[in-house]
Amino acid sequence: MKKSILSLGLAAGLLMMPVAGFAQTPFTDIQGHWAVREVEQVYHKGIMKGIAKDKYAPNQLVTRAEVAVCLDRIFDLNYDHLKFIKEPSPADYYDDVAAGQWYSEAITRAGIYNIFNLDNRKFDPKRPVTRLEVAVAIDKAFQAKKLSVITTEMWPLYEDTTYLPHDEQLTVAFMFNSGIMKGRSANQFQPNGNITRAELAAVLNRTLTTLNNAQPVEDVTEPMNVSVIQSEELDLYRDGTPEKINLYQKRDPRDMPVAFHLTVDGQKVLEIGGEDGLYTNAGFKAQDVDGDGKQ
């Protein structure tokens, strides 16, 4: 009886002892953090590690090298199907990335596929990465693996992305529609803002979810993305009543136009391109309302 009581007392004492670090990771600096579950997931999946044995540094800014390594782990950016005269090295693509570093091989593969879309030979591995750079790198990784993702037909209304080149606006739209990245607010994406290790953990978890739903390009029967190319007042009437219109262009993952669609209150009115070549809804008609002889 005394032995049983002693055993129960010892067990209770062990349960009440403080636990070093978060219960699911060795990190002592993520308890109470909003991204604790995100960090737990990327850690156990082997995508992100700590900066030390017991430190994750959730609020530390992410570098280009870290993003390259993480995306290489997620997408497996191998080049077994490519033929080279010699084994590729980081020096083949960047002048400031030495061989033998913890990030060298990942950056080499990023260079092969131009994941970071850099137009010079400077990678700057320790430079804090921007939100737009992360978005472009993820988008490029999907393209490198020839994967397509079916997304909703929405165009994000970010005030700070209208100045971006068209291809980068499409990338932001893909991030928004796939749910991989959202804006810092309803109307601000902050493309030039930096990203923390906690934020990256969340982004990478969403990337994995999207990746699980991706399809090889040759198997895709629907366009990958939708981009609104214009929205203006057109002389479109149904039963004499003007209707709200929306004109947009569908595109596939290779950035090739697939079809132009004209919708009215969510109903397709006109489609040029696609499988049918031309589609019209007879319930709608254009009217010459200004007397110029044109509809």
pLDDT in tens, the chain (295 residues): 433 433 334 334 433 333 344 448 999 999 999 999 999 999 999 999 999 999 999 999 999 999 999 999 999 999 988 888 899 999 999 999 999 999 999 999 999 999 998 888 999 999 999 999 999 999 999 999 999 998 776 888 899 999 999 999 999 999 999 999 999 998 999 999 999 999 999 999 999 999 999 999 875 444 434 333 333 334 444 444 444 444 444 444 444 444 444 544 445 445 444 443 333 444 434 333 344 443 3
Q: What pLDDT, on a 0 to 100 scale, did the predictor assign at position 151?
A: 79
Q: What is the largest CA-CA distance in the chain?
A: 104
CA 295, CA 287: separation in Å to the nearest integer?
5
Give φ, ψ of 69 to 5 degrees.
Answer: -65, -45
Q: What is the 8-class DSSP label of residue 129?
A: P
The strand pairing partners of 250, in sequence order, are 226, 259
Handedness of CA 207, 212, 217, 220 (dihedral sign): negative
CA 58, CA 199: separation in Å to the nearest integer?
8
Is there a contact between 63 and 125 (Cβ–Cβ < 8 Å)? yes
β-strand 245-251 against 285-286: which pairing, if any?
unpaired
Q: What pLDDT, on a 0 to 100 scale, did the predictor assign at position 161?
A: 95
pTM for the whole structure: 0.69
- Burial letters 62-75, b for 16+ CB under 10 A, else e: bbbbbbbbbbbbbb
* Nearest residue to 269 via CA among 286, 252, 257, 294: 286
Q: What pLDDT, on a 0 to 100 scale, did the predictor assign at position 219?
A: 57
Give φ, ψ of 284 to 5 degrees.
Answer: -120, 150
Q: What pLDDT, on a 0 to 100 scale, did the predictor assign at position 262?
A: 53
Instruction: Find all residues with CB under 8 Å of 170, minimum gap 6, and list them.
Output: 225, 227, 251, 255
Instruction: Return the beta strands (E) in 147-201 as ranges.
Output: 147-148
Is there a contact between 58 and 197 (Cβ–Cβ < 8 Å)? yes
Instruction: Find all residues with CB under 8 Å of 293, minimum gap 6, and list them.
Output: none
